[in-house]
Chains A and B, each alone.
Chain A
């Protein structure tokens, strides 16, 4: 498939999902099951992207202390948990990664 077609389809789907409930509000009730499932979309999708970045930096599972991406990720998780601050989390993770390499 042509890259432009991929972008247009992907963009149309993304825009459609962003518009969905804004447009439909008041016209129909969101089913309870859908509402419930939607709540779990961000943690599921984001964790599915995070996990390989930390545990498989070279495409193989690395649980050792020498896996600097994992160590930096653990530091970032702790900072995010304690501070809830995006910028601090990114900085702490980056500094840990650079310091350990």
Chain B
């Protein structure tokens, strides 16, 4: 096996533990999207057009609430704003690649792909086949996401409602947030955003989510620049 193929499969393997969490997530999304009134084709296409689990969840909920389209688009943008951070983090390792590679890898740059790829670049630095690792991790996640969403759409109402599957979303996010809270500004950003989210829960169309995120970002940035 040549170096590129080896690197590709190493990426697939590195992604594997994360896929175990992604699969139930996709199932719930599929079922939730149908419940919110999306057609099966719409629900499935959102998984490749938007390809971002948390944003898809929230979009499905907002569609169910009959929120205006502009508010849904704005919410998707704010919820996915964190991908700019990942983009900045991997950019130095992709700078030598042709544009089509950059385009494909950018499309595959999700939370879970970044979790595996960021770690790989941190420990290996820039290598001649690092982009194959990225492609392997990204495609493993993409395939799992499409299949699990399709299964969720197919099973839909057949998923037992006694399973609190929707609780997997906050649990996954807890696992993602906790390792980030290493200093006071990060903790303050998380706590202030959480508190504002609770205070603004009554606002229509999850506008409180956007407000809470902005308050958290401003609070953290302010504390950090004062240090």
* Residue positions of A touching B, CB distance < 8 A: 1-11, 13-15, 17-26, 30, 33, 35-56, 59, 61, 69, 72-73, 76-77, 80-81, 84-87, 89-90, 93-94, 97-98, 101
Q: Does B70 count as interface, using CB distance less than 8 angstroms? A: yes
Interchain CB contact under 8 A, A14 and B76: yes
Q: How close is A88's CB to chain B, nearest CB, in angstroms?
A: 8
Bound: A8/B224 CA distance, A: 36
Closest to B70 in A: A1
Residues of B within 8 A of A50 (CB): 170, 173-174, 177, 194
Interchain CB contact under 8 A, A40 and B216: yes
Bound: A83/B71 CA distance, A: 38
Interchain CB contact under 8 A, B213 and A56: no
Interchain CB contact under 8 A, B69 and A18: no
Interchain CB contact under 8 A, A81 and B178: yes
Interchain CB contact under 8 A, B195 and A51: yes
* Contact bitstring B197-227, A, C-beta under 8 A = 1, else 0: 1100100000011001111111111001100
Given contacts A7-B46, A11-B49, A49-B170, 9 further A-B contacts (CB under 8 A): A10-B73, A10-B76, A17-B83, A25-B92, A41-B84, A45-B78, A45-B216, A76-B175, A93-B167
User: Contacts A6-B69, A43-B177, A93-B171; is A22 near B91 (CB within 8 Å)?
Assistant: yes
Interchain CB contact under 8 A, B193 and A42: no
Q: How close is B84's CB to chain A, nearest CB, in angstroms?
A: 5
User: Contacts A56-B201, A87-B21; is A44 near B216 (CB within 8 Å)?
Assistant: yes
Q: Does B98 count as interface, using CB distance less than 8 angstroms? A: no
Q: How close is A36's CB to chain B, nearest CB, in angstroms?
A: 5
**Stretch in B5-13, B99-107, B121-129 with 4+ CB within 8 Å of A:** B99-107
Bound: A47/B178 CA distance, A: 10
Size category of the binding interface on chain B: 35 or more
For chain B, residues 139 to 164, give those with C-beta under 8 angstroms from any C-beta of chain A.
164
Q: List 5 A-B contacts (CB under 8 A).
A: A7-B46, A11-B51, A17-B87, A50-B174, A80-B178
Bound: A23/B95 CA distance, A: 8
Bound: A72/B171 CA distance, A: 9
Residue of A6, A21, A45 contacting most chain B CB atoms (<10 Å): A45
User: Contacts A45-B82, A86-B175; is A21 near B88 (CB within 8 Å)?
Assistant: yes
Interchain CB contact under 8 A, B82 and A18: no
Q: How close is B148's CB to chain A, nearest CB, in angstroms?
A: 15
User: Contacts A45-B79, A47-B216, A89-B171; is A40 near B91 (CB within 8 Å)?
Assistant: no
Interchain CB contact under 8 A, A3 and B177: no
Residues of A within 8 A of B171 (CB): 72-73, 76, 89-90, 93-94
Residues of A within 8 A of B105 (CB): 22
Bound: A1/B170 CA distance, A: 29
